[in-house]
Amino acid sequence: MHTVQLEHVTFIRNNRKILNDITISFPAGKTSVIIGPSGCGKSTLLKVAAGLFPPTSGKVLIDGKNLLTMSKRQLQNFRMVSSFVFQDAALWANKSVYENLSLPLQIHNPDITRDERDRKILSILKEVGYTDSIHLRPAQLSNGERKMVSLARALVTTPHLIYLDNPLILVDPSVLAKMQKLIIAMYKSSETVIANFSSISLTKRLTDFAAVMKDGRVIFTGSMSDVLTCKEPEAVKIIEDIITRDYSNSV
């Protein structure tokens, strides 16, 4: 089980402060969900917490160790146990589905045999509901298929710390169920999951710990029931807006 803490993290890009002095601790073995309106910095917070963007100031602590000052080996160990699912799938365009999945395996498990690797790949693809050829390139896949492969790539290395950045956005309803099933499995396991879901219904079902964000700041943290019953006017407004949007989308 892994803990992720952010201490006074500020992130500036192109002279714009995207994250503003954020201090938050994501509990180990729980599913934490970041809630907030579009453009409030949810994805950036996830990427900073995952060590994909180095913060302009502040610290990102993984199991108490500063991500920026970690040794190469410690960083490699962190990468081995963590994975990230991107909002836009971010599959490697010049590689086939098979290669997209086999590369992380080759990096983290260089000693496994090719057969074992193939077995693992086919198994995870089946789990996410991918049925097409494994030799296709990402450009040849539908949006939903790309999302499936992206989730499969994140899970193929059996990670214990998973970052999910809107993994179900724009996913075809036919495959949504299978993917949701996998995310629920993650929620039920003892893995640490830090997520950003666009769907409030999924957020309500899967959240152990929630953080409400507005304009690059975390304005409220607590359990999902705490969030839904909080009296903080800014947080209440944000939750109401999200629920309204989610309802209109479903209609």
Partner 1 sequence: MLGTLGRWFIDYIKGQLYALGFFFKVFKATIHFFKGKQAGKKVLTMQILFTGFETLNIIALIAMALGAVIIIQGVSLLPQFGQRELTFPILITIITRELGPMLCAFIIIARSGTAIATEIGHNVVSHEIEAYIASGIDPLTYLAVPRFIGVTVSLLLLNIYFNFFGLIGSFFITQFIEPVQASDYFRKLLSYLRPEDILSSTLKSLAFGIIISLSATYYGFKVEQSSTEVPQMVIKAVGASFVYCILVDAVITLIYYTR
Pairing of the two strands 192-196 and 209-214:
unpaired
Residue 83 CA to residue 132 CA, distance in Å, equals 24
Shortest Cβ 176–partner 1 spacing (Å): 22
Supply angle C-alpha 45, 229, 246, rounded to 5: 60
The first and second tokens of residue 9, run together, are 């993290």
For the bound state, the minimum distance from the C-beta of residue 86 to partner 1, rounded and expressed in Å, comes to 5
Nearer to partner 1, 107 or 177 (CB): 107
Residue nearer to partner 1 on the CB measure, 94 or 143: 94
**Cα dihedral across residues 215, 64, 223, 242: positive or negative:** positive
Site of interaction with partner 1 (CB under 8 A): 13-14, 47, 50-52, 76, 79-80, 82-84, 86, 88, 90-94, 103-104, 106-108, 110, 153, 157, 163
Q: CA angle 40-79-209, nearest 5°?
A: 45
Min CB(181)–partner 1 separation in Å: 23
Measured between alpha carbons, how far is 68 from 167 in angstroms, rounded to an integer? Answer: 27
Nearest distance in Å: CB 245, partner 1: 25
CA distance 155 to 101: 9
Judged by CB, which is closer to partner 1: 110, or 233?
Answer: 110
- The nearest distance, CB 90 to partner 1, in angstroms, is 4
Nearer to partner 1, 79 or 120 (CB): 79
Task: Rank residues 147 and 227 by Cβ distance to partner 1 and give the closer one.
Answer: 147
- In one-letter notation, the amino acid at residue 48 is V
